[in-house]
């Protein structure tokens, strides 16, 4: 059954990534300083008003005195964004209705977190750059409209992952990715909210049909018979 295969694939992937990170931190404890992790606790404390000015200064993303250390942190952040967004693309490819499947959205789900991560690193310490970015985004507006509000959820999650890894809270990105994926798989498996005769957002998993199927309202064409 496709739903069981997808859940198994997700569980193995998340467990493998988590085990790899834990083993790496256990073998090399100093590696933690070069990874984009650990900021969630500071964000929660800051939201509750439990941080001082000194704590707020430490909340900022990691700053390093050497180029090599900075490159390691940036590479880890971008790589973490890629690793976290990859299973989201798997879920989209499996659960999306085959008639509304969009390959460009799959590519966007993977690439957008990497771009957002870099943008956050650039603008997080400069108010002027933040306003400049807003102007650039306004000049280059998206002209590709979403086919469904459900597709927008994938875009929003991709942006959230990029923001999380960019500020050094990769653990938040992983939790968001896991919760989103398993929630969508549950909706897909139970056909939650589906109504007969209504346009579906999630495809049916019983037949295992995907985007290669015939498009809606497409009529079969009979082969032309040779002229006598």
Q: Examine residue 75 and state whether it is found in any structural domain, yes or no.
A: yes
Q: Examine residue 12 and state whether it is found in any structural domain, yes or no.
A: yes
Q: Residue range 117-126: average pLDDT?
A: 81
pLDDT at residue 19, rounded to an integer: 92
Element (H, E) at 7: helix 2-27
Q: Examine residue 204 and state whether it is found in any structural domain, yes or no.
A: no
The number of CA neighbours under 13 Å toward the Cβ of 105 is 23
pLDDT at residue 85, rounded to an integer: 94
Q: Which residue has the tokens 């496709």?
A: 2
Q: What whole-number distance in Å separates Cα of residue 157 and Cα of residue 14?
A: 17
Confidence (pTM): 0.74
What are the CB-based long-range contacts (under 8 Å, 24+) for 173-177? 173/80, 173/81, 173/84, 173/113, 174/14, 174/17, 174/18, 174/84, 177/84, 177/85, 177/87, 177/88
pLDDT at residue 212, rounded to an integer: 41
Q: Examine residue 93 and state whether it is found in any structural domain, yes or no.
A: yes
Phi, psi of 96 (to 5 degrees): -70, 140
Phi, psi of 132 (to 5 degrees): -65, -40
Q: How many domains does the chain have?
A: 1
Q: What whole-number distance in Å separates Cα of residue 66 and Cα of residue 186?
A: 46
**In terms of residue numbers, what domain contains 147?**
2-190
Q: Examine residue 166 and state whether it is found in any structural domain, yes or no.
A: yes
Q: Examine residue 46 and state whether it is found in any structural domain, yes or no.
A: yes
Phi, psi of 202 (to 5 degrees): -95, 140
Q: Examine residue 206 and state whether it is found in any structural domain, yes or no.
A: no
Q: Examine residue 8 and state whether it is found in any structural domain, yes or no.
A: yes
pLDDT at residue 222, rounded to an integer: 46
């Amino acid at each position: 059954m496709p739903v069981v295969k997808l859940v198994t694939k997700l569980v193995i992937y998340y467990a493998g990534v988590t085990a790899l990170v834990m083993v790496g931190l256990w073998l090399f404890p100093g590696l933690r300083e070069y990874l984009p992790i650990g900021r969630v606790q500071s964000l929660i404390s800051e939201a509750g008003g439990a941080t001082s000015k000194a704590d707020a200064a430490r909340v900022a993303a990691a700053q390093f005195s050497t180029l090599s250390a900075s490159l390691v942190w940036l590479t880890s952040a971008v790589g973490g964004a890629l690793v976290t967004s990859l299973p989201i693309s798997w879920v989209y490819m499996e659960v999306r209705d085959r008639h509304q499947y969009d390959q460009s959205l799959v590519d966007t789900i993977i690439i957008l977190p990497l771009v957002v991560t870099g943008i956050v690193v650039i603008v997080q310490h400069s108010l002027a750059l933040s306003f400049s970015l807003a102007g650039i985004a306004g000049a280059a507006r998206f002209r590709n409209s979403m086919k469904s509000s459900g597709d927008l959820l994938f875009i929003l999650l991709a942006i959230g992952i990029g923001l999380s890894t960019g500020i050094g809270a990769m653990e938040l990105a992983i939790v968001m990715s896991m919760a989103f994926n398993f929630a969508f798989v549950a909706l897909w498996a139970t056909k939650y909210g589906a109504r007969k005769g209504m346009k579906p957002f999630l495809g049916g998993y019983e037949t295992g049909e995907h985007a290669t199927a015939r498009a809606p309202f497409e009529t079969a064409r009979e082969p032309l018979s040779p002229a006598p």
